[in-house]
Amino acid sequence: DTAVSQTPKYLVTQMGNDKSIKCEQNLGHDTMYWYKQDSKKFLKIMFSYNNKELIINETVPNRFSPKSPDKAHLNLHINSLELGDSAVYFCASSPRGQGALNTIYFGEGSWLTVV
Amino acid sequence: AQSVAQPEDQVNVAEGNPLTVKCTYSVSGNPYLFWYVQYPNRGLQFLLKYITGDNLVKGSYGFEAEFNKSQTSFHLKKPSALVSDSALYFCAVRLTDSWGKLQFGAGTQVVVTP
């Protein structure tokens, strides 16, 4: 009955590979996010989708491509992985409407290590 | 630009003592402020938020936070810390556009010793 679930939790891969992280929320929320936590634990938003539509796209390399097949899912695909992509990636969701008043709920994170 | 600052990288406290984690903010307009906690190798868990109303906000696990507009602060507090409160705490401001992305502080590591 996990609210925001993401897979895999741990991923170790070689430079140059392509990988995906999947995210699903069962909260009925309209808005979903991807955040990145770097090695210094700093958190920064990458993308946000509302009802499958991209609404926030921060300065992220084109190698990162989010895909939202429906409003309950937001996957993150990363091409040509680089060492600097090693981080923890958090999926999150929140209800729509009066956006700033709503709480954002996070998943457990996906620990990506590029070797 | 809207931002939050957490001036302490780490806070050390003995179990049973009061715990305070500091946060100051800089926003244009009304601040929407949040506290999250991250336990080791876990995701971010929502603790509490300030939107409007009472300056003292109560949240999960016995935590509360005091909003102070004149000092632009939103400090997290717990009257009696537990060893299990040892974690990384993040203050965040939700930006006021309708999609409201969170801008996080750098985080404060709390260490509670027995």
3-state helix, strand, coil in chain A (%, to 5): 5, 55, 40
Instruction: Specify whether the CB–CB gap between B78 and B63 falls below 8 A.
Output: yes
* Average pLDDT of span A53-80: 92
Mean pLDDT score of chain B, rounded to an integer?
A: 92
Q: pLDDT, tens digit, for every residue of B17-57?
A: 999 999 999 988 888 899 999 998 888 999 999 988 899 99
More confident: B2 or A68: A68
Confidence band (pLDDT; 50, 70, 90) for B72? very high
Backbone angles phi, psi at B108, to 5 degrees: -130, 125
Which residues neighbour A39 within 8 Å (Cβ) at sequence distance 6 or greater?
A: A86, A87
Confidence at residue A99, expressed as pLDDT on a 0 to 100 scale: 59
A60 has a chain B CB within 8 A of its CB: no
What is the CATH number for B30? 2.60.40.10
In the predicted model, is pLDDT for residue B3 greater than 90?
no
Q: Is the pLDDT of residue A96 over 80?
A: no
State the nearest Cα–Cα gap between A54 and chain B, in angstroms.
11
Q: pLDDT confidence of B76, banded at 50, 70, 90? A: very high
For residue B52, the model assigns a pLDDT of 86
Residue-range definition of the domain harbouring residue B39: 3-113
pLDDT for B12? 98
Taking residues B67-74, report their average pLDDT: 95
Taking alpha carbons only, the member of B24, B13, B20 closest to residue B105 is B24
Asked if the model's pLDDT at residue A41 lies above 90, the reply is yes
Q: How confident is residue A100, by pLDDT bands cut at 50, 70 and 90? A: low
Q: Which pLDDT does position A97 carry in this prediction?
A: 58
Q: Which residues does chain B have within 8 Å of residue A48's beta carbon, measured at their own beta carbons?
A: 99, 101
* Domain hosting residue A33, numbered range: 4-114
Q: What pLDDT is attached to residue B47?
A: 96
Number of domains in chain A: 1
Q: CA of A50 to nearest chain B CA: how many angstroms apart?
A: 8
